[in-house]
Amino acid sequence: MSEGMTAKCPLDAEDVTQARVASPFSHSSHSAPFVGLRNTLPSDVDIISPFIDQLMSFISRFRMADGNNFEIELALREALVNAIVHGNQNDPSKCVYVNCRCTTDGRVSITVEDEGNGFGYDTVPNPTSPDNRQRTHGRGIFLIRRLMDEVDFEQGGSVIHMRKGASADSGTTRKPQ
């Protein structure tokens, strides 16, 4: 960064695990009490794994460790890589914004937003079609849609909302510690 310029993202890789509680156990007429975290990340692929480790630790406080947690982790990884590499074009002056909400009954909602121009999310080729099987990219959106219960795009594709329902046995979800 040149002299006199300041980074747009307030966090660096060491600060990435620090988050603030957005709504501790807020009540809504439409959902169970929840805890939310908001994070602002620099466009740096090296922070993805440490960030995911921290966020999954948070999520696991509300969900039993099961195959669904792996699905959330992989979908989140794909969304973050897409946001940094494709959305923000690895531009270090751009940020990625992550909001995660976990309900006390184990439901998880994650939003990932980049500062890019978006993309035609409805025109992404199916990677399982014979013409696309040998391609070395183009599987992230497909995986996210398969792994999460609900996936929605906004702002031309620069915002992705992902939701996963409660663990299979809702009676075994963990209470926050």
Q: What domains are there in the chain, each with its CATH number?
A: 26-172 (3.30.565.10)
Residue 18 in this model has a pLDDT that exceeds 90: no
Per-residue pLDDT, averaged over 1-7, amounts to 41
Candidates 9, 40, 10, 4; CA nearest to 22 is: 40
Q: Which residue has the tokens 């959902």?
A: 31
- Per-residue b or e along 4-13, where b marks 16 or more CB atoms closer than 10 Å to that residue's CB: eeeeebebee
Using 50, 70 and 90 to split pLDDT, how confident is the model at 177?
A: very low
Give pLDDT, residue 126: 76
- ∠ CA(64), CA(98), CA(47), 5° rounding? 90
What are the pLDDT digits (tens) for 25-84? 333 434 578 899 999 999 999 999 999 999 999 999 988 766 679 999 999 999 999 999
What are the pLDDT digits (tens) for 98-126? 999 999 899 999 999 999 998 877 777 67
- How many other C-beta atoms lie within 10 A of the C-beta of residue 138? 12
Tokens read off for 34? 């929840």
